[in-house]
Amino acid sequence: MTSLEQLSKVRIEDNVLRVTIATAENGSSLDDEGLEQGTHALAAVGDRIGSVLLVGDGPNFCAGGNVHAFASAPVRSEYVAGVARVLHGFVRALDAVNLPVIAGVQGWAAGAGMSLVCLADVALGGPGTKMRPAYPSIGFTPDGGISWTLPRIVGDARAREILLTDSVLSGDEAVRLGILSRLVGDDVIQDEAFRLARILAAGPTAPYSRTKSLLRASRSRTLTEQLDAEAASIAAAADSPAGREGVNAFVEKRRADFSFTKGTGA
């Protein structure tokens, strides 16, 4: 099995797994190699990380699929199906990870790039950030899960409008709709995203994991079922190492130190 050290599009720094999903050398289009390496890394890292950071290398986060490659493929349907298979493998791995996922969204996030933004727990953009589904403009339908995630973020009616009219969203509008979490300076998007990823990676990993598990399970639960799950989860957290440290630190008026809980399932 390939070690993480041999992978060029992923790296671990300060307990943050950074995945490069697009590179400037291919026009900021979706990078299959980056996605495959990201999928491998998410399965392999285990307790070695505390958060995941999605970035694009260059002026854009991700401009979508490589349309020139689509056009030159001998059998376009087979080629596009292969691209979707790689993308969806990464989407499934990203959705399954019980760690904070942060996206640093500079420039354009179009097509699959916008789909990946919608999967992040926290997405930072800038005044120059723009988002666009981009599928209708080339006669395609959505992929990357955006037909599932976007309605849950902005509501069914607004999602239909955005996807069918191929809306271009400014950074401000994306924040207003809840697709982006907030805006920072265009020149510091990746720095701020990494800073946030580091902060979350140093936080209480087990509560983050349980919170994401609750959110994931809420997709198919009733409110009563979710309340029962929340009660059981918070009771277990209260007597966990992370819970004890957090409460003790609050009472003692000091900053909580969760480093000793890493990798313990606490």
Sign of CA dihedral 40, 46, 49, 53: positive
pLDDT above 70 covers what percent of the chain?
95
Inter-residue contact 162 to 153 (CB < 8 Å): no
Res 266: pLDDT: 53
167, pLDDT greater than 60: yes
Q: 4-201 domain in CATH 1.10.8.620?
A: no
Stronger pLDDT, 251 or 258, i.e. the higher one? 251
Res 45: pLDDT: 83
Instruction: List phi, psi (to 5°) of 26.
Output: -115, 30
- Collapse the DSSP code of 56 into the 3-class scheme (helix H, G, I; strand E, B; otherwise coil) and give the result: strand
5, pLDDT greater than 90: no
Res 25: pLDDT: 83
Which one, of 175, 47, 50, lies nearest residue 123 by Cα? 175
Q: Which two tokens stand for residue 181?
A: 């979490």
8, pLDDT greater than 90: no
141, pLDDT greater than 90: yes
Where does the pLDDT of residue 251 fall: very low under 50, low under 70, confident under 90, or very high at 90 and above?
very high
Any alpha helices (H) in 47-135, and if so which ranges?
67-72, 76-96, 112-117
CA separation for the pair 260, 48 (Å, rounded): 13
30, pLDDT greater than 50: yes
1, pLDDT greater than 50: no
Per-residue pLDDT of 202-246, as tens digits, reads: 999 889 999 999 999 998 999 999 999 999 999 999 999 999 999
Per-residue pLDDT of 98-124, as tens digits, reads: 999 999 999 999 999 999 999 999 999
Q: What is the rounded average pLDDT of the residues 69-75? A: 94
Question: Which residue spans of the chain are classified as CATH 3.90.226.10?
Answer: 4-201
pTM of the model: 0.91
Res 118: pLDDT: 97
Which CATH class, in words, describes the domain spanning 205-261? Answer: mainly alpha
Half-sphere exposure of 205 (CA within 13 A, CB side): 23
Res 107: pLDDT: 97
Question: Which residue spans of the chain are classified as CATH 1.10.12.10?
Answer: 205-261
Res 7: pLDDT: 75
Inter-residue contact 33 to 87 (CB < 8 Å): no
173, pLDDT greater than 60: yes
Res 3: pLDDT: 64
Q: What is the rounded average pLDDT of the residues 134-142? A: 95
Res 26: pLDDT: 81
With tokens 């990798």, the residue in question is 263
